Amino acid sequence: MKRIPLLLIAFLSLLTFLLIFENCGSSEEEPEPNKPPIVSITNPTDNAIITIGETVQINVSAADPDGSIGNVTIYINNVEEDSFNAPPYSVSVNTADADAGQYTIKAVAKDNLGLTATDQITVTLAESNPPTVTTSDITDITETTASGGGNVTDDGGNDITARGVVWGEASGPTLESNSGKTVDGSGIGAFTSSITGLTKNTTYYVKAYATNSQGTAYGAEKSFQTPGSLPTVITGFVTDITHESAKCGGEVTEDAGNAITAKGIVWSDTYDVTLDNAIGSTDEGPGLGSFVSTMTGLTPNTTYYVRAYATNSEGTSYGDPEVNFTTGTYVGPPTVKTLEVSYIGAHAALSGVEFVDNGGGNSGEIGIVWGASPNPDINNNDGIYTSTSWSGGPSPIEFVFEIPVTSLDPETTYYVRAYGRNNNGAGYGEEKSFTTLAFSQIVQTGTFTDTRDNTVYNTTTINGQTWMAENLTYLPEVCAYDASCGYWVYDYTGTDVATAKANPNYTTYGVLYNWEMAKASCPTGWHLPTHEEWAILEMNLGMNFDDATYEDYQDRGTNEGNKIKETGTEHWIDDSGATNESEFTALPGGWRYSGGFQNLGVFGYFWSSDQFWPGGVPLRYLASSSELIYLIRAADPNSGYSVRCVQD
């Protein structure tokens, strides 16, 4: 009975010892594993381009987070270049004898326990080239000097240390063989050179040069000839001055040993007149002696400058002094000139009138007339436009007026003349003729991607004016019809952009904008059209100038609306006979007002960017049942309408 407790005590003691032993063993921590080193090539950078001949400094940084770096080895194309047991880990490599191409630079770091880490980059060795230089034209040539220069466009991978020009009397001058040279700085870019010490009546050859460490390159050779001795000539007096003509002459007193081949006078309405800038000139034949010339085609009440000239084999000289005179006053119909015809389309073109003289009348008008028959006048024409009129004064303030020639038929020859009319009668400018194009020739379609939201828009170019052929859909935010953020989608009353874009009306008709957001929403390179740009479109469609530029509500034009409306009744509720031959594809997107949305399928409204009536903004709109393009002169800028952007 007494042994049982002793055995129990012994068993419990043994159990306690085992538990204590187990706990002591589990408290010992396992050692952490060795961490690899960190290595980085700090120079050169990955994908660097190095010119052959440069010395490349390869720098490596290495560290070990839990020990020390034992060794760093640098390889080029897997061939050991150098190895280091202590920093700095750097080696210089001369590339003078290396081949062009790609090279791999690798750095391997090993720590004190043998773990390694690697960094690797790729560099490219490129050939070093001489510079590229062009030679400028030779100007300001005198008997002993001239101006030249050049443009260094590429340094060949090495700094330009010198640049300039070389010249000589033999072709192919160089820095080693020349009659003269300049040094005009260093670096790439254009430069100007002064060529001096020349001999008169001599041909010279010039080349620009540029020098870098790889050598000297030359531009194309230019040649010029210095002038020889020129004739001596004296300018005479101006006589017999009228409103359109006058006489002047001169005397050639010396030919400088070379026969006179031409002599006469030159005149202009600017000072220092020559044969190159003269309005008019005469040629009174060869030889020495005196001569008299008549100047014709002059403008009334205009100051002219005139000089005698004489030419021999060495060039042309001009008489002193240069004299001036003023023509008389013209009395008769206004004198006008017809501007050249440009921007010829299918239904419109551009010409105009230049006012020359009022003919002495205190009142009158100027403009253009046109027609399908030659010599249109103010009584017989297919169209007439008065650009300006005046009364109680001598003339218009402006002198040149560009005027659209409108309401033309396609593929038809027209004749246009400027006209001027006063109390002395009517006068006309020179007749100009042109032939209109087929409408299909002035329309080109394309696409444009708005990078803000990657929307792809169809576009149409009509006689050079490019429009979006779809309503703008840019929607950075959206608001309910009774809110004023400026962006609405027809029949959507929420504020979630994604939900608004899922609305079928957004996909078909785009966004309705207030005026401020409309002006700010076209993408870069495009803008909200002005009233004038809408008018240009309308005139290219066939609308006459007065209707297109009128700044008030009225029935305008004829069938231009049908030419830009989408065909059929898929979106328009009525078929007005739309042809959409312009590919403009106008849609009836309706509008937003403070009380809601209305007129979807019935009207399409489009903003303009300018404002010419207080309190409102001009607006073009189309009606389902009409073939016209209407104008609202003062729409509420807080309402919501569609936007068509036009390219800058």
Instruction: Give the residue with greater pLDDT, 507 vs 595.
Output: 507
Last residue of a domain, one of 108, 126, 144: 126
Candidate from 115-129, 385-399, 472-486, 559-573 with smallest mean pLDDT: 385-399
Residue 421 bridge partners (DSSP): 365, 426
Is residue 25 over pLDDT 50? no
Confidence (pLDDT) at 129: 80
- From residue 449, alpha-carbon distances to 445, 453, 508 in Å are 14, 9, 17
Q: Does residue 299 sit within a domain? A: yes
3-state class (DSSP) for residue 636: coil
219 and 237 housed in the same domain: no
Contact 565, 572 (CB under 8 A): yes
- Give the model confidence (pLDDT) of 38-71 as tens digits: 999 999 999 988 888 789 999 999 999 988 999 9
Kindly give the pairing relationship between strand 116-126 and strand 49-51: parallel
- The dihedral built from the CA positions of residue 573, 579, 585 and 590, taken in this order, carries a sign that is negative
Mean per-residue pLDDT for 420-436?
A: 92
Angle at 193 between CA 192 and CA 196, to 5 degrees: 155
Contact 609, 527 (CB under 8 A): yes
461 and 515 housed in the same domain: yes
Angle at 592 between CA 589 and CA 594, to 5 degrees: 170
342 and 465 housed in the same domain: no
At 156, which CATH number?
2.60.40.10
Confidence (pLDDT) at 621: 96
- Give the model confidence (pLDDT) of 307-342 as tens digits: 999 999 888 999 988 999 999 887 788 889 999 999
Q: Which of 112, 65, 61 is CA-nearest to residue 88?
A: 61
481 and 572 housed in the same domain: yes
- From residue 93, alpha-carbon distances to 33, 54, 73, 284, 591 in Å are 38, 9, 14, 78, 73
pLDDT-above-70 percentage for the chain: 94
488 and 347 housed in the same domain: no
Q: Which of 387, 420, 386, 385 is CA-nearest to residue 406?
A: 385
Report how far residue 245's alpha carbon sits from residue 196's, in angstroms, rounded to the nearest whole number: 45
- Give the model confidence (pLDDT) of 211-227 as tens digits: 998 889 999 999 998 88
636 and 498 housed in the same domain: yes
What tokens does 289 get? 């002696």
Mean per-residue pLDDT for 235-263?
A: 93
Contact 239, 266 (CB under 8 A): no
- Give the model confidence (pLDDT) of 507-521 as tens digits: 999 999 999 999 999
Confidence (pLDDT) at 399: 74
249 and 362 housed in the same domain: no
Confidence (pLDDT) at 146: 95
Q: Which of 477, 480, 440 is CA-nearest to residue 461?
A: 440
Mean per-residue pLDDT for 463-480?
A: 96
398 band by pLDDT with thresholds 50, 70 and 90: low
Number of domains in the chain: 5
Confidence (pLDDT) at 21: 43
497 and 594 housed in the same domain: yes
Mean per-residue pLDDT for 475-484?
A: 91
270 and 385 housed in the same domain: no
3-state class (DSSP) for residue 546: helix
242 and 322 housed in the same domain: yes
Q: Does residue 16 sit within a domain? A: no
Which H/E stretch holds residue 589? Answer: strand 589-593
357 and 399 housed in the same domain: yes
Contact 310, 262 (CB under 8 A): yes
Mean per-residue pLDDT for 199-214?
A: 91
Contact 629, 617 (CB under 8 A): no
Among all chains, which residue has been given the structure tokens 């008065």? 386
Instruction: Give the residue with greater pLDDT, 13 vs 625.
Output: 625
Kindly give the pairing relationship between strand 180-181 and strand 215-218: unpaired
Last residue of a domain, one of 415, 435, 455: 435
Mean per-residue pLDDT for 273-288?
A: 95
Report how far residue 104's alpha carbon sits from residue 46's, in angstroms, rounded to the nearest whole number: 10
351 and 475 housed in the same domain: no
Report how far residue 503's alpha carbon sits from residue 480's, in angstroms, rounded to the nearest whole number: 14
Confidence (pLDDT) at 97: 86
Kindly give the pairing relationship between strand 413-422 and strand 425-428: antiparallel
Confidence (pLDDT) at 12: 53
Report how far residue 519's alpha carbon sits from residue 608's, in angstroms, rounded to the nearest whole number: 8
Mean per-residue pLDDT for 262-271?
A: 95
Contact 210, 162 (CB under 8 A): yes
Residues 6+ apart with CB under 8 A from 432: 338, 339, 340, 341, 351, 415, 416, 417
Last residue of a domain, one of 126, 154, 172: 126
Phi and psi at residue 499, in whole multiples of 5°?
A: -70, -40
- Give the model confidence (pLDDT) of 517-558 as tens digits: 999 999 999 999 999 999 999 999 999 998 998 887 777 899
Give alpha helix (H) positions in 550-630: 560-564
Which range marks the domain in which residue 486 is found?
443-647
Average pLDDT, the chain: 90
Contact 522, 510 (CB under 8 A): no
Residue type, 119: D
Mean per-residue pLDDT for 9-17?
A: 51
DSSP string of 233-293, one letter each residue:
EEE---BS--SS-EEEEEEEEE-TTS---EEEEEEESSSS--TTT-SEE----SSSEEEEE
- C-alpha R_g of the chain: 43
Q: Does residue 2 sit within a domain? A: no
Among all chains, which residue has been given the structure tokens 């991978």? 157
